[in-house]
Structure 1
Amino acid sequence: MKKTTLITALLLFCTVTFANNVQVSTISYNAAAQQVSFTLTWENSWDLTGGGPPGNHDAVWVFIKCQTGSDVWSHAQISTTPSSHTLGNSLALAQPAAMNTYGVLIKRGTLGFGNINGGNNVSLQLSSPAGITAIQVFAIEMVYISEGAFGIGHSNPATDAFDVATISNENMIPAGSLRVNPADIPAAFPKGYKAFYVMKYEISQGQYTDFLNTLTRTQQTARVATDISGTIVTNQYVMSNQASLTQFNHIMCPATLPVAGSVIFSCGVPEKACNFLGWADYSSYLDWAGLRPFTEIEFEKICRGFDARIDNQFIWGTPYSFAQLPTSLGTVDADLTTETTIWSDAVTNPNNYANVSQNYITGGRLMRCGFPGSKPTNRILSGAAYFGAMEMAGNASEYVIQVLDDGLLFTNENGNGDVTDAPLTWPSNITASGVNFKGGSFRTPLAANGQGFLIHPRYAPSGKPVLTNNNRYDYMGGRGALSL
């Protein structure tokens, strides 16, 4: 995610934000009208509502941070009256009946698919605060997960998975009904039947860098592994706490820091998926963005969709077959904005190998967000889940809320943009039984034989448990969801 600072005649500075293929540019602010205007573009958009499977759409979650005379960034509130906002002819509000004061969902204005190109001007009406002196606009690509019943689980009782079941509502699920739930699953625990949104891609290193750059020094210190409380830093790669690049995380701080005030972080490869995220880092980012974590049942909905449930199903929908997994990563344009693999092209992948990043093959590496989807293709060649979410397995593993212990307190409450005020229903002092991972990572070992790409298992890669809020390993990443 690249960022450019613009100076206006009113001495108001704004940022131009790039996250994967979404771009926010030409930002302006009308203080008298409290309106923020900008141009929004992104690639590979679709709206197939009412058509064949998956019959859904993608959208962009736009939210705004502001300053009001100090160097502290706060979350701007957006009007929930649809008519108070104006959008370009190619755009529409994705959920006008369910507006959210912490952000707005914008989708393409007509059915079909393709790129949303220039000329799409957006003007959002703020409801607070007044006296804004600086504005930042952020955009995250999302995927709509349609309401409806779906299958979960595995028929083999020996696996660490749910029993075979159909989720046909959001009602309470009695203890033991799914085999791995020793207690009742409350009605308020999100089960995926109701519609929601999920991030199209994993949190990127550029997105996490932008997050860090809106925090106070104290907040920043808690969200990186390197000690940045002083003025001299040796381990400038702040997520791995190393002096040199380690396991593909490029987020850095300067060698010399200010005595007081926030640190300005940078990232050499902002499109790369963000790893080394502890639970507290991950949940804090989602709270800041107005999003939320999602549950292990919702993970299965995102991946399986409305297809008939089968045992040992890859996230891209086919039954398990080791022969479908490539024997090498085949990286092209490593660490560039065009980073991909040879497996994303049907011409160079005549055997229809899955296009994935995982260490059961030689030379596993963390890749950029969306690396398999650089060309129009099928689910196998893009590694896409049912509704179009990318890299739900491989790359960085996905945090999920489990149907155990502390996890059962979780509800579908979104974050409010304030990292000091996370929803009380979110796990804050995590245990191995309340939070876990699904989907393998680029570090999944050879012995797994591709098992990390299956939908049903709970999966703690490399055998390293989630023990504390700030355990940070190179396989740990994730994405967020948004309740309606």
Structure 2
Amino acid sequence: MKQLLPLLLFCSLSFGLWANNLQISNVTLTNDSTLTFSISWENSWRLDGTPPYNHDAVWLFVKKRDCASSQWSHADLSATVGDHSTGSPLEAYVDGKDSSSVAKGIFVRRKTDGVGNISSVSVSLRMVGLVPGQFDFRVFGIEMVNIPEGAFYLGDGGSSGSSFREGAATTPYQVTSEGAIAYGNTAGKLYAASRALTATIAADFPKGFAEVYCMKYEISQGQYVDFVNSLQSDQGNTRRITGTVASRNNITGNWPVIQANTPHRAMANLGWADLLAYLDWAALRPMTEFEYEKICRGPVTPVAGEYAWGTALVTDANTLVTDGTATETASNAVTPGAGLCNYNNNTVLGPMRCGYAAKPGTSRQQAGATYYGVMDMSGNVCEQVVHSYSDGKDYKGEPGDGEISTTPNAGHANQASWPRPEAAISTSSAPGRMLRGGSYYMTLVYLRVSERYYGTTYADDGTRANYVGGRGVR
């Protein structure tokens, strides 16, 4: 029977001009199973022959809804890359992490080396497994950054008592493979004085050596609202986070018409269960604390006390310009070699726009970017990651499947191998989770790449807090 798929709905995730302005538009159905649309974003790059030897990309996935139903579900895509197409200069990429028969999403990225804007390039995605009927569709996109395979260091030589090191020495520990890592305070073993490892880290724990794609920005308020509005009623009410402009959380309304009045601003107040539900829905996964350090530091020798931008110098982003808009930034003059960073709960009193420090012509340090070009990994809102001890060490890094739980326990990630995806939002009940990178609320010491203090304080805590956000990897 021929499928009737007459009318498409689409969701365009729009960032501000300096946050690369990702736009998905003109969604059409070109046959019974292929969606075609235009994609644009700014400041794209591919540098295969030049450091940092990586590229950016957009993770694309599709949600579908039978016109007779109010419930959205994930649409599977073909796992054969040739079934998808893109215009120049892009290519489609299927990472093979789902199964041999379906893909939960695909990446689009530059096919060859180049730098610049991507302007209205056509993309076609072939869906599989559709049943006959009339459907609405929504296409979602998330900007990502490629983190290539390679060795890197944990710890920076002892700037913090909780940081990683090699044995009892104050030297960083080099990760050279995804193989098992022995723990202990002797030479050649990984050690930390607090929140120390309790057993050998198994080979299947994601250590940061393998290639991964990381969200370029923290989850924004607009992205989180798009997520909640695409759930069914009981799921949406579980994940709904609204409030006044206190702590700059500016989300209002009720499901399914929740609104983000500052959609470009980083999402705070995320509990562990909120983050995991979003990542499962988007077919991503949480990063580990090892991956956090790799994404920040890259392959280079650590700098003592460094922040995500690779130096130990900071300029406080405390003078807002165009507050609440798509071009929100800070006008502070940046000290040479320093990163512009929202920290110390000084004047701003909440998260700023995702990518607020990146302006035309800024350096890596001025933009507060990591070695690979990921934004805001120090300050703004805390990153929630899987720790490497007790409940966290058994994590294997499987990506989400695009679906979250339904009644009777609706609205949770359904990946059983993830650390406590059903953690209560009001209790200290999230074994396996820790905070890294600091936030607008914290002083400088907690923004350091090596700092693991919040692996001791507020670790394994599922409570929503107005300085905690997150992002995912795949």
For the criterion TM > 0.5, the same-fold answer is yes
Aligned to 2:408: none
Structure 2 Cα separation of the partners of residues 25 and 419 of structure 1: 27
Are residue 427 (structure 1) and residue 443 (structure 2) matched? no
Question: What is the CA distance between 1:353 and its match in structure 2?
Answer: 3.9
Percent identity among equivalent residues? 36
Question: What is the CA distance between 1:433 and its match in structure 2?
Answer: 5.7
Q: CA deviation digits over 1:309-335, x for unaligned, max 9? A: 2331221112x2xxx323561211111
Q: Secondary structure at the match of 1:140?
A: strand
The 1:427/1:368 distance shift into structure 2, 3 A limit, reads: same
Aligned to 2:363: 378
Please report the TM-score for the alignment, with normalisation by the length of structure 2. Answer: 0.86
Q: CA deviation digits over 1:237-290, x for unaligned, max 9? A: x2x4xxx32111111115xxxxxxx53211111000000000000000000000
Q: CA deviation digits over 1:402-440, x for unaligned, max 9? A: 111110121120000001262211011665662111101
Q: Secondary structure at the match of 1:427?
A: coil
Q: Structure 2: give runs of 5+ residues left out of the alignment.
A: 166-171, 406-412, 424-428
Which of 428, 440, 443 is 2:441 aligned to?
A: 443
Structure 2 Cα separation of the partners of residues 143 and 12 of structure 1: 29
Aligned to 1:417: 402
Aligned to 2:231: 215
Aligned to 1:192: 208
Aligned to 2:277: 284
The 1:140/1:147 distance shift into structure 2, 3 A limit, reads: same
The 1:479/1:25 distance shift into structure 2, 3 A limit, reads: same
Structure 2 Cα separation of the partners of residues 333 and 158 of structure 1: 37
Are residue 91 (structure 1) and residue 90 (structure 2) matched? yes
Question: What is the CA distance between 1:195 and its match in structure 2?
Answer: 0.4
Residues 278-287 or 333-342, more deviating: 333-342
Aligned to 2:265: 272
Contact 2:250 2:262 in 1 (8 A): yes
Question: What is the CA distance between 1:349 and its match in structure 2?
Answer: 3.7
Are residue 166 (structure 1) and residue 174 (structure 2) matched? yes
Q: Secondary structure at the match of 1:155?
A: coil
Aligned to 1:358: 343
Are residue 124 (structure 1) and residue 109 (structure 2) matched? no
Contact 1:327 1:362 in 2 (8 A): no
Equivalent AA in structure 1 for residue 452 of structure 2: R
Contact 2:316 2:343 in 1 (8 A): no
Question: What is the CA distance between 1:95 and its match in structure 2?
Answer: 4.7
The 1:26/1:377 distance shift into structure 2, 3 A limit, reads: same
Question: What is the CA distance between 1:397 and its match in structure 2?
Answer: 0.4
Question: What is the CA distance between 1:459 and its match in structure 2?
Answer: 4.0
Which of 211, 214, 221 is 1:205 aligned to?
A: 221
Contact 2:79 2:96 in 1 (8 A): no
Aligned residues: 435
Are residue 337 (structure 1) and residue 323 (structure 2) matched? no
Q: Secondary structure at the match of 1:460?
A: helix
Structure 2 Cα separation of the partners of residues 158 and 357 of structure 1: 21
Question: What is the CA distance between 1:375 and its match in structure 2?
Answer: 1.6
Are residue 476 (structure 1) and residue 468 (structure 2) matched? yes
Contact 2:205 2:393 in 1 (8 A): yes
Equivalent AA in structure 2 for residue 366 of structure 1: P
Q: Secondary structure at the match of 2:247?
A: coil
Q: CA deviation digits over 1:62-113, x for unaligned, max 9? A: 0000012311100000011111111111211245777861000001233111
Aligned to 2:168: none
Are residue 54 (structure 1) and residue 52 (structure 2) matched? yes
Contact 2:52 2:372 in 1 (8 A): yes
Structure 2 Cα separation of the partners of residues 379 and 330 of structure 1: 20
Are residue 149 (structure 1) and residue 146 (structure 2) matched? no
Contact 2:320 2:328 in 1 (8 A): yes
Contact 2:46 2:56 in 1 (8 A): yes
Contact 2:280 2:400 in 1 (8 A): yes
Structure 2 Cα separation of the partners of residues 105 and 62 of structure 1: 6
Structure 1 Cα separation of the partners of residues 288 and 432 of structure 2: 10
Aligned to 2:169: none
Question: What is the CA distance between 1:128 and its match in structure 2?
Answer: 2.3
Structure 1 Cα separation of the partners of residues 158 and 338 of structure 2: 27
Structure 1 Cα separation of the partners of residues 300 and 159 of structure 2: 22
Alignment of 1:9-28 (within 5 A): 10-19=6-15, 20=19, 21-28=21-28
Contact 1:359 1:365 in 2 (8 A): no
Contact 2:76 2:105 in 1 (8 A): yes
Aligned to 1:6: none
Equivalent AA in structure 2 for residue 475 of structure 1: Y
Contact 2:419 2:430 in 1 (8 A): no
Equivalent AA in structure 2 for residue 452 of structure 1: Y
Please report the TM-score for the alignment, with normalisation by the length of structure 1. Answer: 0.85
Equivalent AA in structure 1 for residue 417 of structure 2: T
Q: CA deviation digits over 1:375-417, x for unaligned, max 9? A: 2321110000011000001001000111111101211200000
Question: What is the CA distance between 1:152 and its match in structure 2?
Answer: 1.2
Contact 2:144 2:213 in 1 (8 A): yes
The 1:172/1:392 distance shift into structure 2, 3 A limit, reads: same
Structure 2 Cα separation of the partners of residues 275 and 464 of structure 1: 19
Structure 2 Cα separation of the partners of residues 98 and 218 of structure 1: 30
The 1:44/1:308 distance shift into structure 2, 3 A limit, reads: same
Q: Secondary structure at the match of 2:315?
A: coil
Aligned to 2:190: 178
Structure 2 Cα separation of the partners of residues 158 and 317 of structure 1: 16
Structure 1 Cα separation of the partners of residues 468 and 113 of structure 2: 36
Aligned to 1:39: 38
Q: CA deviation digits over 1:319-369, x for unaligned, max 9? A: x2xxx32356121111100001124xxxx5464542111126444431111
The 1:374/1:113 distance shift into structure 2, 3 A limit, reads: same
Contact 1:185 1:408 in 2 (8 A): yes
Contact 1:209 1:267 in 2 (8 A): yes
The 1:325/1:175 distance shift into structure 2, 3 A limit, reads: closer
Structure 2 Cα separation of the partners of residues 13 and 296 of structure 1: 38
Alignment of 1:240-279 (within 5 A): 240=243, 244-254=244-254, 262-279=255-272
* Aligned residues: CA RMSD: 2.3
Structure 2 Cα separation of the partners of residues 121 and 156 of structure 1: 50
Structure 2 Cα separation of the partners of residues 342 and 210 of structure 1: 30
Q: Structure 1: give runs of 5+ residues left out of the alignment.
A: 1-8, 226-237, 255-261
